[in-house]
Structure 1
Amino acid sequence: MLGVTLFRPGPEQVERLCALASAGFAAVIAFDNGGLPAGAAERLARAGVTLLSEGTNLGIAEALNRIAAAAQAAGAGALLLLDQDAEPPGDLAAALLTAQDRLRAAGIPAAVVGPAPAPAPGHKAPAYPPRPGAPGHGDLAPVQFLATSGSLVDLAAFARVGPFRGDFFIDGVELEWCFRAWSLGYSCYQTRAVAIPHRVGGGTIRAFGIAMPRQPLFRMGTYLRNAIYAWRLPHVPLRWKLAQAAYLPLQAGLYWADSGWRPAVLLRLLAAARDGALGRLGPPRDLPRDEPRDLP
């Protein structure tokens, strides 16, 4: 089963989802987090897409949870997740199902299996740190976490690990969930047999050997808040917390410099850090309004 999250999709993204629906998946479920163009819902329904929505932006975590719940209710055993920007290779699902079967045969309980990340033009590809002490299996490598887009989730494992954190809303959702899966005896694996390009933000900020996505301020603030809050979670490894303690100030500084040293940006980042330390989570206060657009 295929699950796709939507937020203000453009005409080309709607058409891409319609094409995926006709590509032979058992079923396609999409969650509209707001801004679906007029007429697009009918177009998706005609293509065979089951469209879920609450009429507002619930965040990526809750959208994924709603998709997973619908897939479980339909009796699916595995769920391939994509975002609206994803351009998956035709063999993605088959490669991930094969990887999942190989891990099961080897007695490795994988909660999620994902493709290798590939750079999209003008975007930085994510990097998945290896999981120390976990066994590799041919071209399958254990990693600390994977991006949700492009990943195949075992729904039985999902039921045990629990849902994605809705109060994280958007950033760090997969990271926290994968660390939780590892802590409960499950694993996360990347296969080098297939790759998928990732687009995060509107370009890349590069300085001093560091590359990070250029994102809207509300996204950077939410990322910073959630990363700092994760320091209090026992299932997040100490090594990761220490690395983040060193890395986050550099990222925040580079983001501020890229903004032209605007005081308002610095104040927003400081407020995000405070919110993370105090556990003030949920939707960011400066979240853009979800206004629908018309399809041409």
Structure 2
Amino acid sequence: MNPNPLTDAPVVWAVFSTFRPGPGAVRAVSSVIDQVAGVVVVDDGSGEAADEALAALVGLGALVHRETENVGIAAALNDGIRIAREHGAAQVVTFDQDSEVPEGFVETLQRAAAAAAADGVRVGVVVPERFAAVRQARGAASASYTDAANVIQSGMLIPAEVLDAVGELRADFFIDLVDTEYELRLRREGFAVLAALGIRLGHALGTPYRREVFGRQVRLPGIPPEITLSTPFRYFYRVRNRIVLDREYLFAAPRQILCDTLFDGVHFVNALWVARPRRALWRLYRAAITAALRGRMGRMPAPLVPVAARIAWAAPVHEPAAEAQR
């Protein structure tokens, strides 16, 4: 570990959330451990199945904290952030277990944060310009940073003073849109959400499927030929949290809320079209809407777990190389 990767920079720690980690988590931690003063790994209730991988992470030098039950990614990261701060972290960078952190990544985030602060910007968080294939940077750029939007929490640099000012990640969201809620909250409180230029965080975004209707691929201007589908149970959280987010931030960020809601709405319809049995996903949607309207946050109700487990996606996997040959 490097206690001071950037001369005179604040002490920075990495915080990982894991669930049933495998070799990928070991590679992820290995890729960043020499860039930071320390690494905290919070395992989100994996149980004995995670023993081998977590032991390997301890062997690398990471501090491992094990949740006794599955508390959700926001709560797990919050616990990790608290542990990092107890060990002297002035900044933290949050990661998922399958992130691929390139050399110099953390230093680039810190340089961008320092440059923005020197320019009088009230820095909230800094993310990489690119997350996998997604470009998070927006707006006019300086030499090292620019505004960001629709940010993803993996690879996000958060100063301790920002956590003190606006609070932790929203644990009652459990999973999905946790990063978006934090982004909107920061902006509402007058903080800037920035992207560090010239860096990319490698990450698996899920399985891409061909976008089809009645067995034929849909090709429309501006619409990607594929749809990236999440694990079915996550659609409960995506729908519920989208409604809650819209209700709380519509007037603070109307353009972003309306655009994101339209995009999500199209995605939810596409997912419903290819779900089998379709009625099972529709049941998740109805339960999510009810939960949002009644303020029922936290984990998905237990009776919905077997419902979500029955859902499969009836769509062919999108293979760009094969598509290009057609």
TM-score scaled by length of structure 1? 0.85
Offset of residue 33 of structure 1: 0.5
Q: Which residue of 2 aligns with 1:180?
A: 185
Offset of residue 108 of structure 1: 0.6
Q: Percent identity?
A: 25
Give a deviation string over 1:208-264, Cα, whole Å, max 9, x none: 515542111111221111011112214751222322443333111100112256221
Aligned mates of 1:196, 1:98 — CA distance in 2: 16
Question: Counterpart of 1:138 in 2: which secondary structure?
Answer: coil
- Residue range with higher mean Cα deviation, 163-172 or 74-83: 74-83
1:212/1:162 CA distance change after superposition, 3 Å:
farther
Q: Which residue of 2 aligns with 1:92?
A: 105
Q: Does 1:202 align with 2:207?
A: yes
Offset of residue 99 of structure 1: 0.5
* One-letter identity of the residue aligned with 2:237: T
1:198/1:236 CA distance change after superposition, 3 Å:
farther
Q: Rg: which structure is higher?
A: 2
Question: Counterpart of 2:297 in 1: which secondary structure?
Answer: coil
Q: What is the Cα-based RMSD across aligned positions, in Å? A: 2.3
1:115 to 128, 136, 160: 128
1:15/1:192 CA distance change after superposition, 3 Å:
closer
Q: Which residue of 2 aligns with 1:11?
A: 23
* One-letter identity of the residue aligned with 2:233: F
Aligned mates of 2:138, 2:22 — CA distance in 1: 35
Aligned mates of 2:266, 2:298 — CA distance in 1: 25
* One-letter identity of the residue aligned with 1:247: F
Question: Counterpart of 2:50 in 1: which secondary structure?
Answer: coil
- Written as runs of structure 1 = structure 2, the 5 A alignment for 1:229-240 is 229-234=244-249, 236-240=252-256
* One-letter identity of the residue aligned with 1:54: E
Give a deviation string over 1:180-222, Cα, whole Å, max 9, x none: 1111111110122211123223335645515542111111221
Give a deviation string over 1:16-52, Cα, whole Å, max 9, x none: 424543x252111110012252233332222211011
1:272/1:136 CA distance change after superposition, 3 Å:
same
**Length, aligned pairs only:** 279
- Residue range with higher mean Cα deviation, 40-49 or 162-171: 40-49
* One-letter identity of the residue aligned with 1:39: E
Aligned mates of 1:16, 1:267 — CA distance in 2: 36
Structure 1 unaligned spans of 5+: 120-124, 289-296
Offset of residue 106 of structure 1: 0.4
Asked if structure 2 preserves the Cα contact closer than 8 Å seen for 1:116 and 1:194, the reply is: yes
Aligned mates of 1:129, 1:136 — CA distance in 2: 9
1:128/1:25 CA distance change after superposition, 3 Å:
closer
Give the structure, 1 or 2, with the largest relative contact order (CA under 8 Å, sep 6 or more). Answer: 1
- Written as runs of structure 1 = structure 2, the 5 A alignment for 1:56-135 is 56-119=69-132, 125-128=133-136, 130=138
2:147 to 142, 149, 155: 142
Q: Which residue of 2 aligns with 1:171?
A: 176
Q: Which residue of 2 aligns with 1:122?
A: none
Question: Counterpart of 1:39 in 2: which secondary structure?
Answer: helix
Asked if structure 2 preserves the Cα contact closer than 8 Å seen for 1:18 and 1:49, the reply is: no
Q: Which residue of 1 aligns with 2:242?
A: 227
Question: Counterpart of 1:149 in 2: which secondary structure?
Answer: coil
Structure 2 unaligned spans of 5+: 1-12, 212-217, 307-326
Asked if structure 1 preserves the Cα contact closer than 8 Å seen for 2:112 and 2:144, the reply is: no
Asked if structure 2 preserves the Cα contact closer than 8 Å seen for 1:172 and 1:227, the reply is: yes
Aligned mates of 1:137, 1:129 — CA distance in 2: 12
Asked if structure 2 preserves the Cα contact closer than 8 Å seen for 1:30 and 1:51, the reply is: yes
Q: Does 1:276 align with 2:292?
A: yes
